[in-house]
Amino acid sequence: MAVLIPAHNEEDAIGATLDALTEQTAAPGRVIVVADNCTDATESVAAAHGAQVLRTVGNTARKAGALNQALDAIVSSPPTYVLVVDADTRLSPRFVETALREMARDERIGAVSGLFLGEQASGMLQQFQANEYERYRTQIRSTGRVAVVTGTASLFRLSALRDIAAHRDAELPGVRGDVYDRGAITEDSELTLALKTRGWRLVAPLECECYTELMPTWGDLHRQRVRWYKGMLDNLRSYGPSPVTLRYFGQQFMIGTGIVTIAMLIVLTALSIAAGSFAFQPFWLALGGVFVVERILSVWPAGPKGRLVTAAVIPEIFYDLALQTAFVHAVWLAMLRRDTSWNHVTAARAPLAS
C-alpha cells in the first residue's frame, strides 16, 4: 500500500497528519507527501517526520494534477492499494486496518471512503459544521449509501484507478491516462461518479473516521461550499443524465426545492404577522417537535454542545440559509460557466477525539 498526501503550503498541519499515520493499528506502507508548488516549510517538515517527499513539476491542475503526477511516479513499483489523505486530515487509529479488511472481502469494492468529522469545534459556526458532518455519518450508518468518496481520506484499489484512467476521454470525461480529471474543481465527487459509472462498489465503514478542519469564518465557509456545490454541478454537466447520475440530479433539484420552500415560508410568515393573523397551531407545533427531536438524535454523538445548538432550532436555520445562499451562488456561476477560487485555510490543530 502507498499513502499519497497532496500538500500545498501545509507546514502547520502536515506533522500531525503524519503522526496519526504512525499510530495506525495496521502499517500504512510507503508514505509520500506530494508537495505541490509549496513556498513554505512543508517539504522539510514532512521529511523530518520520515515521509518521502515528491515535488510536483509544472502542475497547474491543483490537487487533481498533483495526484496524477504522484500516481505516475509510483507506477514502477505499483502498490495494490492507494490511500489518499489530505494534508490537514488525521485518521482514527483503526482506519487503515478497517479499510484493508473491507477491500479483502470483495474484489468489486473500488474505494473505501472515510467518514469525515470536524475537529474540536471552537465557536458557534464550527459547531454548526461539526453537527452537519455528524448528520452525514448518521445518514451513512442508516442507509449504507456512499454519496461521495471523500477527498479527505479514502483507500482505493489500484486496479480501479487504472480502470478509470483507461476509460477517460471515452466513457468518462477527462484525458486518457489521467486518474483524476484535471478539469474538475471537486476531484473527489468526479472520481465518485467515474467509479460508479464503471461499476465499482463504494463503502464507508463507521470505523474509518477522519478528522478535518472546520471553516473559521463565514466567508471561508461560503467559499468552500460554493466550490463544493459548483463542482458537483459541473461534474453532472460533464456526465449528463445516466442511471448513476439520476440520483445526484435529484439531489440538486431537492436542494433547489428546499430553497424555494423556505423562502415562501419566510415571506408568508412575515405577511401573516404584518396582517395580525399569525397564530400557533397545535398540529404544526407537534410536527415541529418531532422534527426537532430527530435533529437532536442525529447529532447525539456530537456531545452536549452539539445537542444544545440543535435544540435551539433558530441558529441552525440561519446556518442552513447560509448554505442555501452558497448553493444559489454556485448555480449562478455554473450557469455563467465561471470558475470559483480555491479556498486555502490554515486552521489550528486540535487533539483527536477520544
Sheet with 81-85, edge to edge strand ranges: 52-55, 30-35, 2-7, 81-85, 153-157, 109-113, 201-203
Domain annotation covers residue 269 = yes
Last residue of a domain, one of 214, 233, 265: 214
> Residue 155's pLDDT is what?
98
Using one digit for the tens of pLDDT, what is the confidence trace for 197-254?
Answer: 999 999 999 999 999 999 999 999 999 999 999 999 999 999 999 999 999 999 999 9
Query: Residue 26 pLDDT > 60, yes or no?
Result: yes
37: left (phi over 0), alpha (psi -120 to 50) or beta: left
d(CA 317, CA 11): 36
Q: Are residues 63 and 207 in the same domain?
A: yes
Q: Are residues 177 and 273 in the same domain?
A: no
Q: Are residues 271 and 326 in the same domain?
A: yes
R_g (Cα) of the chain, nearest Å: 21
Q: Are residues 305 and 192 in the same domain?
A: no
Per-residue pLDDT averaged across 269-286, rounded? 87
CB atoms within 10 A of CB 98: 21
For the chain, how far is it from start to end, CA to CA, in angstroms? 27
**Residues paired with 82 in a beta bridge:** 2, 156
> Residue 350's pLDDT is what?
46
Q: Are 89 and 270 in contact (CB under 8 A)?
A: no
Q: Are residues 207 and 272 in the same domain?
A: no
Kindly state the cell numbers that stand for 112.
473505501
Q: Are residues 8 and 107 in the same domain?
A: yes
Tell me the whole-structure pTM to 2 decimals. 0.90
Domain that holds residue 183: 2-114+149-214
Q: Are residues 110 and 46 in the same domain?
A: yes
Q: Band the pLDDT of 280: cuts 50, 70, 90.
A: confident
Q: Please list, in sequence order, all residues whose beta carbon lies within 8 angstroms of the beta carbon of residue 277, skipping any fewer than 6 positions away.
A: none
Domain annotation covers residue 268 = yes
Q: Are residues 256 and 202 in the same domain?
A: no
Q: Are residues 185 and 266 in the same domain?
A: no
Last residue of a domain, one of 214, 233, 262: 214
d(CA 89, CA 86): 5
Q: Are residues 209 and 90 in the same domain?
A: yes
d(CA 44, CA 37): 14
Domain annotation covers residue 23 = yes
* Tally of structural domains, the chain: 2
d(CA 97, CA 90): 15
Domain annotation covers residue 231 = no
Per-residue pLDDT averaged across 169-189, rounded? 95
Q: Are residues 109 and 186 in the same domain?
A: yes
Domain annotation covers residue 275 = yes
d(CA 28, CA 30): 7
Highest mean pLDDT among 46-55, 68-77, 275-284: 46-55
Domain annotation covers residue 230 = no
**Residues paired with 52 in a beta bridge:** 32
> Residue 354's pLDDT is what?
38
Q: Are residues 76 and 159 in the same domain?
A: yes
CB atoms within 10 A of CB 279: 6
Domain annotation covers residue 240 = no
Domain annotation covers residue 225 = no
- CATH at residue 36: 3.90.550.10
